[in-house]
Amino acid sequence: MLIAIGLNHRSAPIEVREQLSRGLADMKVLIEQLRAAQLAKEAMLLSTCNRVELYVVPDQHTDPQSFITFVSRYVGLVGNSLREHLYVYSKQEALHHLFRVISSLDSMILGENQIVSQIRQSFRRSIDLQCSGPVLHRIIERALSVSKTVREQTNISKETVSIGRAGVELARQVLGELSGLSALLIGAGEHGKLVAKNLFSHGLSELVIANRTFSRGVELAKFFNASAIHLSEIPRYLDRVDIVLTSVAGGQRLIRKNDIITFRRRRRYRTLVLIDLSVPRIIDSEIHDLNDVFLFDIDDLNQLANEGRKNRESAAKEAEDIVSVETNKCWKILQGDLHSKNIGAVYHHAERIRIAETQKTFSALPDLNDEQKLMIDKMTRAMISKFLHHPMAQARQLAQNDKHHELQFLLQAMLPTGDSNEE
Amino acid sequence: MISQGLLIAVLFAYTPCVLAEFFSPLRFWKKPIFVWFGFLIHVLAIIVAIYVDKMAVWQSPIFGFGVLSSLVLLIFQILRKQPKMDSLGKVMLPTAFLLLLLGILSPTNQNSVLWHWWVPIHVSLILLGFICFALSFALSITFLIVHSRLKKKQLLGLKDLPSLTTLDRYNHRSMLFGFITLTAGVATGIFWFSMFENPTWFFEPTIISTLVLWLWYAIGIYTRLTLGRRMRWAAWFAVIGFLGFVVLLVVSTFIAGGWHLGEVA
């Protein structure tokens, strides 16, 4: 019913992932070839920076390994160069894998939220290109629901894991919502830029950048749509801004306790958050003792980020349990659908035979009147119904007892090849 | 009195909710529905107190504390719908619980005071003021806890608590609103008081306490608006003000003989 084949950041280096992604980019041609080769009825390609995966609803009797051969040939990679990186999951395992991926349990950053929109977009694309169908639709709908359940019932996505987010979290813990607030970024270090970027994405209204090299500050200001100032202008901004970020290398103390005490009254004791990401630190640590001033350094941000990672890891165990339960539930539902289809196919097949034979009989007996034809029709219906009653009762019993293989065997035995659907 | 019995039942109803705030194995009882259940019995007790036991808020400390307690809980139940404000339960539930306990332990005597239609207006305004200061107290305690943890760099687990700015903003609004209603309440009280020919009970403890409270919060609001004294300063101000007032109220109740001693006209 479902096969997942692909590679991710753990199984393949980026060069191989890039090659596969480029090779599979044209979904329309891919699905046409898959259908022509009688390998798949529906397909969806998920291509992100960390994984390239193809989810297919196979045609009947398809060996999952044949997909590896197909993909290798299709992408143009010969020998074992792709094979050793590819993984393939089928049936319930494929469903479980998809649910884990969408719950970000398989992501490089555990609990990241981007994967949900990436899967949504991939599915939309497959609909637009007419590559998907009812089975994939049902599965993706269910996957989105599982993702929501995991994120609501566990903390897997709630904890801070990056320095940038940790900085925002601390600023918000003191200042609340960032809209209407302004920040001063001193220096052009990577950590400072990360925190500034995150502050902006959480609603910061204004950013001012001060850098030793003014031209570098201007360049950075353009990137952030901010304004640049000289280092000498910093005191003028200290009584205006709400957040000060520093990220310079090898500097002397730039902001001392007395500087802040001077500005406090001018600021009317408005709260100030200072985040010193420089090593060595350039803000006097005694500033933290002042009532309305809060000073955090890189260790504080790391502490939050590390704790966040630990919490996500313990939330992951809960999430795995939820995913396992949901996989079993969903699999039963899908099998139920499949068996309903097959049971329907048995009745349909029997009806076809009945109609064909009654037509033959009516042709051979032209003197039959309508009433007689009706009686023959009724008789053949009753015969079919009574004949199928016991096998169908058995089929329902097997379904209730989760004996899916026996059920599949029974149904397939009653249908000619080509009529049955396989899991 | 029937209402006193009902208030004891309310106390038992609130006990698991209060304990759930501090002991995680009991977190099932943190759900708002359990507080609402206790609150319903509480309201019933108040209705019984008014119509069966014929009590009035300003005459009977039992009733007075009971009403204060119920209003603190009502404010909390409304406020907890805001993001992270559920954490105020650690202060507001015990505060309401203690006010209720004080009421149950209070003397049962009622003081006779001249009735006038003006009285419910005066009482309602005063009560509203007290409730706002109780809210301000809870917000301030939470503020001081968050502030202390940020200063000590105990940064883990702060996400579930409101930000300092949010707490300070709510605190300021509570104090301001409480001050306005208390001022109106005091003004209506003075108006009511002026009807007495020979008022000898002006210097009773409840009135003194209320005026001291009014002055305290007037200073707090003034320093905030003119000098910009906010955040930790405002939080301590609110905590000291409310605690001081509760102490004075307890003195009035257990030592001075009751609220609004008054005399029959």
- A256: distance to nearest CA of chain B, Å? 18
Residue A99's pLDDT is: 96
Is the pLDDT at B166 greater than 90, yes or no?
A: yes
Burial string for A24-36 (b: 16+ CB within 10 Å, else e) reads: beebeebbeebee
Q: Mark out chain A residues that contact chain B at CB-CB < 8 A.
A: 158, 169-170, 172-176, 268-271, 288-289, 291-292, 294, 296, 300, 303-304, 307
What ipTM did this prediction achieve?
0.82
Tell me: the pLDDT tens digits for A81-139? 777 888 999 889 999 999 999 999 998 888 888 899 999 999 998 898 888 888 899 99
Residue B246's pLDDT is: 85
Contact A172 B163 (CB under 8 A): yes
Given A49, A108, A382, A383, which residue is catalytic?
A: A49
Residue B265's pLDDT is: 39
Which residues in chain A are contacts of B232 at CB distance < 8 A?
291-292
Question: Which residue of chain B is at minimal alpha-carbon distance from A291?
Answer: B232
Is the pLDDT at B1 greater than 80, yes or no?
A: no
Residue B112's pLDDT is: 57
Task: Write the Ramachandran bin of A187: left for phi over 0, alpha for psi from -120 to 50, otherwise beta.
Answer: left
Q: Which carries the bigger pLDDT value, residue A160 or residue B68?
A: B68
- Residue B230 is nearest to which of A269, A289, A294, comparing CB atoms? A269
Question: Which residue of chain A is at minimal alpha-carbon distance from B169?
Answer: A176
Question: Which residue of chain A is at minimal alpha-carbon distance from B166?
Answer: A176
Contact B231 A170 (CB under 8 A): no
Contact A307 B165 (CB under 8 A): no
What is the Cα–Cα distance from B241 to B231, expressed in whole angstroms?
A: 15
Query: Backbone phi, then psi, for A412, in 5-degree steps?
Result: -65, -35
What is the Cα–Cα distance from A199 to A167, expressed in whole angstroms?
A: 8
- Residue B164 is nearest to which of A268, A271, A304, comparing CB atoms? A271
Tokens of A234: 């910093």
Is there a catalytic annotation at residue A49?
yes
- Residue B150 is nearest to which of A158, A268, A294, comparing CB atoms? A294
Work out the pLDDT band at B192, boundaries 50, 70, 90: confident
Contact partners, residue B63, CB within 8 Å, separation at least 6: B3, B46, B49, B55, B56, B57, B103
Which residues in chain A are contacts of B155 at CB distance < 8 A?
170, 300, 303-304
Contact B159 A268 (CB under 8 A): no
Q: Is residue A288 within 8 Å of residue A257, measured between CB atoms?
A: no
- B20: distance to nearest CA of chain A, Å? 20
Which residues in chain B are contacts of A292 at CB distance < 8 A?
231-232
Residue B138's pLDDT is: 93
Tokens of A216: 């570098």
- A175: distance to nearest CA of chain B, Å? 5
Contact B228 A173 (CB under 8 A): no
Is the pLDDT at A227 greater than 60, yes or no?
A: yes
Which residue blocks in chain B are alpha helix, DSSP H?
A: 2-20, 32-51, 61-79, 89-105, 118-151, 164-193, 205-227, 232-254
What is the Cα–Cα distance from B78 to B99, expressed in whole angstroms?
A: 19
Residue A188's pLDDT is: 80
Which residues in chain B are contacts of A289 at CB distance < 8 A?
151
- A172: distance to nearest CA of chain B, Å? 7
- Residue B163 is nearest to which of A173, A269, A292, comparing CB atoms? A173
- Residue B159 is nearest to which of A169, A289, A296, comparing CB atoms? A169
Tell me: the pLDDT tens digits for A398-417? 776 767 678 778 877 877 76
Q: Is residue B134 within 8 Å of residue B242, measured between CB atoms?
A: yes
HSE (side-chain half, CA atoms, 13 Å) at A249: 5
Report how far apart, in Å, the C-alpha atoms of A206 and of each of A203, A297, A398 are. Answer: 9, 22, 67
pTM over 0.80: no
What is the Cα–Cα distance from A307 to A390, expressed in whole angstroms?
A: 61
Percent of chain B with pLDDT over 70: 88
